[in-house]
Amino acid sequence: MSIENQSSNKQRVIFAGTPEFAAISLQALIEQQEALNIELVAVYTQPDRKAGRGQKLTASPVKQLALEHNLPVEQPLTFKKSVEEGQAARETLANYKPDVMIVAAYGLILPVGVLEAPTYGCLNIHASLLPRWRGAAPIHRALLAGDEQTGITIMQMDKGLDTGDMLYKVTYDIAADETTASLHDKMAELGAEAIVTVLKDLSHYQAQAEKQDDSLANYAEKLSKSEGEIDWTQSATHIERQIRGMHPYPGAYTFLVDPEGKSEPKRVKVLSAMPVNASQTTVVETGTVISVGKNAILVACGKESADQEATTLRLTKLQFAGSKPVTAEQVCHGSQLDDGDKFVAAPE
């Protein structure tokens, strides 16, 4: 039955999510409750976590938004029926008598018993064009892989990891200067628009559900901080994607060698860069600073392929340990870098 065609009884909707990405969709549903003929009966989110320098317990963005709008908030640790707390969480959810559950970056595994509890099941807002980039970090992985397109998939959840039938897709062309931060914000807005579209006529989209081709699937594993370490033997194109894909978290970084050898290499964050179209005019060891200029710091990188010339990366913003971010021009006028200095991997 179409949600928009029900005039007497509103669909009872549970929303489950945790970070800002999910909060954008929750805000859209709050604003569209009347138009969609829905009632948000409960919001599920991760338990409060310690955050900041003071390590104070902090509510998730989704919880903060829910409380602002006087929505009931549930924060179970588990839904496993094998433990008392999980069984109690299932019973609480069932008592809300949900017609549908919307899930966006919730961070808690939903067992089959929970997926089947709502009348129309659970819908997931996933930030990729499934089956590409199933898993925890689809936005990062799309940038790191150099994908030209990504998007949002509204999926009918099943017991697999992002394996459910696809109800609706929205495609987005990735800009050349896109970072994880900017792409996250665009995907969050697209996700909100997409779930509103689906809820306007849920039965229509469920009837046209498309199964995923598992042979085309790949997985977007959660990033580790070590993946931010720059390997200067890689091509400038590869490193530039790494810098964008790691911004703002976990961040791309390298280590600056002390030319006099009096101290250990110092960690430097690389905040933005651009590959140079032309290859190096001078063959130098990868990681070597070719020149420090007002517009960019040129660094020698590896080859795009074995039969091509070495490449060069233009660093435009850096952050030295214990200092604020600085532009190439500020570095040029300072004394942090000189021509011939060397960037290396983590010191052993």
Residue 33 neighbours by CB distance under 10 Å: 15
Helix/strand/coil percentages in the chain, nearest 5: 30, 30, 45
The single-letter code of the amino acid at 333 is H
337 labeled part of a ligand binding site: no
* Cβ neighbours of residue 322 closer than 8 Å, sequence gap 6 or more: none
Per-residue CA distances from 264 to 228, 267, 340 (Å): 20, 10, 17
- Which structure tokens are listed for 88? 């109690």
Q: For residue 40, what is the enclosing H or E element?
A: strand 38-44
Dihedral class, residue 200 (left if φ above 0, else alpha if ψ from -120 to 50, else beta): alpha
* Cβ neighbours of residue 10 closer than 8 Å, sequence gap 6 or more: 37, 38, 39
215 labeled part of a ligand binding site: no
Taking only Cα atoms into account, the Rg of the chain, rounded to an integer number of angstroms, comes to 24
Q: Cα separation of 245 and 253, whole Å?
A: 12
Classified as helix, coil or strand, 155 is strand
130 labeled part of a ligand binding site: yes
- Which structure tokens are listed for 222? 């959660």
Cis before 131 (ω within 30): yes
CB 192 within 8 A of CB 27: yes
128 labeled part of a ligand binding site: yes
Checking DSSP bridges between strand 252-256 and strand 149-156, what pairing results, if any? unpaired
DSSP 165-210: PEEEEEEEEPPTT--HHHHHHHHHHHHHHHHHHHHHTHHHHHHT-B
Binding residues for (6S)-5,6,7,8-tetrahydrofolate: 128-131
Binding residues: 128-131
